[in-house]
Structure 1
Amino acid sequence: MKLLIYTILTIALLGTASCSHDLLDKTPIDRLSENAVWTDANLVTSYVTSKYRDLGFGFNWNGDELMWASASDESIFSHDYGMWSINRGEITPANLAILGSSPTESNANMNPWSKNYRYIKDANMFFERIGEVPMDSSQRRRLTGEMKFLRAFRYFDLVRNYGGVPLITQSFTLDQDFTQVTRASLAESIAFIVKEADEAAALLPLSYSGADVGRATKGAALALKARMLLYAASPLYAGANDVARWQQAATAAKAVIDLGLYQLYPDYQQLFLTPRNAEIIFDRAQAQTGDGFLNLERWNGPNGYGGWAGNIPTQALVDAYDMEGGKPITDPSSGYDAQNPYVNRDPRFYATVLYNGAPYRGRTIEVFTPNGQDGPDGPESFNTTLTGYYLRKFINESRDFSSATGSQAPWIYFRLGEMLLNYAEAQNEAVGPDANVYEAINRLRARALMPPIPAGFTQAQMRERIQRERQVELAYEEHRYYDVRRWKIAPQTENQPVRGVKVTKDASGRVRYDYVTVQERRFADRNYFLPILLKETQANSKLQQNPGY
């Protein structure tokens, strides 16, 4: 799409770096005064457009190879870069490891506190000045809706990482005192996001055409509301079980589904390689222009092909996939064989994980020793997998690893598949496993060519089923890290060591699979939320740090 392929950097009134491109044959933005910008409708539209490009996206979360999935039990990042400090629960306000990185103009994916408040300031300036811009009322309405959505999106990211946060709705200037800013309660923060999402939905169209495709829609705003309300009803946020909250979350997710605008894409693997497909509610479409430093295939690929084995699946993720008959591998009657572990599994496994023997780019993956091309005896042993697996999801297998152009996979923020899972979870908690819950889950399983789940589940059994369904359906999409926290099961999942498989091939060609520990991990109660940067609490004594830090 055209909207997000332009490199439009933030204007000088924000005190950031300049942009080298002319916009609409006008003087470059970095040479315009603040007043000039807010008197030109085209420049204000470009200003809003730049806020989309500034949204973080999960393929290079730290401006390089690292994905946030590797902060959860579904993945491990081979090269550390500071991620292992998060895995071990070692970060502090003064030592944030990878989270201590400052956002840059080309990539704002680093510290959630810094990056989000930076762009909340931009949104606040928009709301303060949009009324004076000469433009058509319908354009003003739509741009206002877009910025309300984008600000709510930023606040949601803050809340899921920190809990209750300062709700700042004005753009502070240098002569203003910000040292009296305090954190809103968690309930107040959630209510603000829901209100902003509702207001955005009322202002936004259902869809766009032409160059505007990709901007926030009514569906995107309602999807953000649905996700926020799902979190709000969850144990970490709600405390005691509150059926009314779960019912609100179910209603919100159903509202997105009932728009009738989105359909499950028939091919799970191609879903993540096809921008603007019918399942996507809101995404960032990558492009060669402006996204050149995005090489998913090389960053995550097997070393035998020249890959760097970056974000690699764990045994915990692999074990979460059922057998094709629908039974978990822990069921003695499932047919699972630990010495022939990759046959007859959920098709989503084959679309997500590369394993020993997997067909890939004209041969099969070889992680075995000795002499496996993709194992420790292959080229660049420092780039081999630590767990015996590689990432397949998002990967374009026809793309040359050495290509200098950017990868083309879209980063999906919201899709129908998530909304079905959100609805199933909330509905199950609100009323139990009724027909609506089964229908939502089975739609996803049917797309994956998996059998429907058995009838007669209790609420607790359905809860466990939905949690595992989210684990496999949404793998690597930045849900698992937050899901295990909001469910308050992180003390179990995140205190487990990362395990993998060691594959040995003897002289006769017989292969043996041994399951081994790869990395020890730790989780404490303080790790439910991130610490606020020390410099922030030092600058403002009224800004309360998260417990345990």
Structure 2
Amino acid sequence: MVEAFQMKDGTAFSWQIPAEAKDPYANRDPRFYADVLYNGAPYKNRTAQFYTGGLDSKTSSLSPWNASKTGYTIRKMIDESYDFNNQEYSKCQWVVFRLAEIYLNYAEASAELGNTADALKYVNLIRKRADMPDLTAANLVDKIRQERRIELCFEGHRYFDLRRWNLAETGAGDALGIQITPTSAANTSFTYKTQVIEDRVWKPALTLYPIPRSEIQKNPNIKQNPGYK
């Protein structure tokens, strides 16, 4: 997910570009900083420490059992004023439906119907608000899908989006994380290496849900979805 966030100039992030690999969290889409807690990010009264041996790592001296496996945690919609010692529940509300999704829905439908002007108008309203460069007409459907991935990340859309696009297999690869190794005694410089943290095997049946057996029993003409009995 982290690699999907573009650079501030609208180009794709790449580990193959030395400057980006050396400092992977610099000059990214502003939404990256709002949505993801990464190594070195300011959080409350300190910076996040996901590097090996850091307070937020799996090798932490503080609470390794509660640390991130990936080297990141979600920042989006987190109430940073929450006091774990004095409050039982956060007052941060969960967003069910918001204007950006309406714009993205309309832009996607417009692009699929060939109405490029309307599609660009509404998807670029979202880009402008995020202080990102406008999209252009080339490969517009794919660009809108990418924009949807970023704008609506961690809001529960991606799972269903990939299935309705019949692209679920592309999102079912191994789970990846980042290994961050300090290269200075003061823990101010690091090397970064992606690593597999969970092996995953894709099954085509997972594209669709099974039809409840009770519904098939009501109507024998209904055929079960592929891969289910």
Same-fold call, TM cutoff 0.5 = yes
Unaligned 5+ residue runs, structure 2?
none
Instruction: State the partner residue of 2:12.
Output: 328
TM-score (norm. length: structure 1): 0.39
- List alignment gaps of at least 5 residues for structure 1: 1-316
Using the alignment, how far apart are the partners of 2:217 and 2:85 within structure 1? 46
State which of 352, 371, 389 in structure 1 corresponds to 2:72. 389
Higher relative contact order (CA 8 A, sep 6+): 1
In structure 2, the CA distance between the partners of 1:355 and 1:320, relative to structure 1 (3 Å rule), is: same
Change (3 A) 1:521 1:331: closer
Matched to 1:499, the amino acid is L
Give the AA of the match of 1:517: V
Amino acid at match of 1:447: R
Name the structure 2 match of 1:474. Answer: 152
Query: 1:505 matched to which residue of 2?
Result: 182
| AA in 1 matched with 2:201 | R
- Partner residue of 1:531? 210
d(CA) in 1 for partners of 2:105, 2:216: 39
Q: Aligned ranges for residues 165-244 of structure 1 at < 5 Å?
A: none
SS in 2 for 1:466: helix
User: Of the candidates 364, 367, 371, which is equivalent to residue 50 of structure 2?
Assistant: 367
CA distance in 2, matches of 1:435, 1:357: 40
Shift of 1:416: 1.1
Match of 2:111, SS?
A: helix
Deviation at 1:519, TM superposition (A): 1.0
Q: CA separation in 1, counterparts of 2:157 and 2:19?
A: 27
- In the other structure, the counterpart of 2:104 is 421
Structure 2 equivalent of residue 342 of structure 1: 25
Distance 1:403 1:426 in 2: 47
Partner of 2:142: 464
Tell me, yes or no, if the aligned pair for 1:329 and 1:336 is still in contact at 8 Å: no
Q: Distance in 1 between matches of 2:36 and 2:217?
A: 45
User: Take 1:394 and 1:320, find their aligned partners in 2: how far apart are those partners?
Assistant: 19
Return closer, same or farther for 1:479/1:468 CA change in 2, 3 Å cut-off: same
Once the two structures are superposed, residues 41-77 of structure 1 have per-residue CA deviations (whole angstroms, 9 ceiling, x without a partner) of xxxxxxxxxxxxxxxxxxxxxxxxxxxxxxxxxxxxx
Partner of 1:351 in structure 2?
34
Q: Quote the offset at 1:497 in angstroms.
A: 0.8
Question: Do 1:537 and 1:544's aligned partners in 2 also have CA atoms closer than 8 Å?
Answer: no
Is the alpha carbon distance of 1:336 and 1:544 closer, same or farther for their aligned partners in structure 2, counting shifts above 3 Å? farther
Q: Are the counterparts in 2 of residues 421 and 470 from structure 1 also a CA contact under 8 Å?
A: yes
Aligned mates of 2:205, 2:216 — CA distance in 1: 20
User: What does residue 515 of structure 1 align with?
Assistant: 194
The residue number in structure 1 matching 2:164 is 486
Q: Which residue of 1 aligns with 2:90?
A: 407
TM-score, normalised with respect to structure 2 = 0.88
| Aligned partner (choices 441, 444, 458) of residue 126 of structure 2 | 444
> What displacement does 1:541 show?
7.5
1:545 is matched by which residue type in structure 2?
Answer: Q
Once residues 215 and 86 of structure 2 are traced to their aligned partners in structure 1, the CA distance between those partners, rounded to angstroms, is 44
State the distance in 1 between where 2:211 and 2:63 align. 38
Output the CA distance in 2 between the equivalents of 1:507 and 1:411: 40
Q: Deviations over 1:251-307 (max 9, x none)?
A: xxxxxxxxxxxxxxxxxxxxxxxxxxxxxxxxxxxxxxxxxxxxxxxxxxxxxxxxx
Distance 1:537 1:465 in 2: 39
Match of 2:59 in 1: 377
Alpha-carbon deviation of 1:341?
0.3
Which amino acid is the alignment partner of residue 471 of structure 1? R
- How many percent of aligned residue pairs carry the same amino acid? 38
Q: CA deviation at 1:319?
A: 0.7
Separation (CA, whole Å) in 1 of partners of 2:142 and 2:129: 21
User: Who is 1:240 aligned against?
Assistant: none
**Larger fraction in helix:** 1
1:328 positional shift: 1.1
CA distance in 1, matches of 2:216, 2:209: 17
Size of the aligned set, in residue pairs, is: 224
Cα deviation digits, residues 58-99 of structure 1 (max 9, x gap): xxxxxxxxxxxxxxxxxxxxxxxxxxxxxxxxxxxxxxxxxx
Query: Is the Cα–Cα contact under 8 Å of residues 14 and 21 in structure 2 kept in the other structure?
Result: no
Backbone CA RMSD of aligned residues:
2.3
Kept in 2, the 8 Å contact 1:366–1:373? The answer is: yes
Question: Are 1:505 and 1:512, in contact at CA under 8 Å, matched by a contact in 2?
Answer: yes
Distance 2:4 2:126 in 1: 16
The answer to whether the Cα contact below 8 Å between 2:180 and 2:191 also exists between their aligned partners in 1 is yes
The answer for the alignment partner of 1:212 in structure 2 is none
Structure 2 Cα separation of the partners of residues 344 and 429 of structure 1: 32
Q: Using the alignment, how far apart are the partners of 2:195 and 2:39 within structure 1?
A: 15
Q: Return the offset for 1:332.
A: 7.4
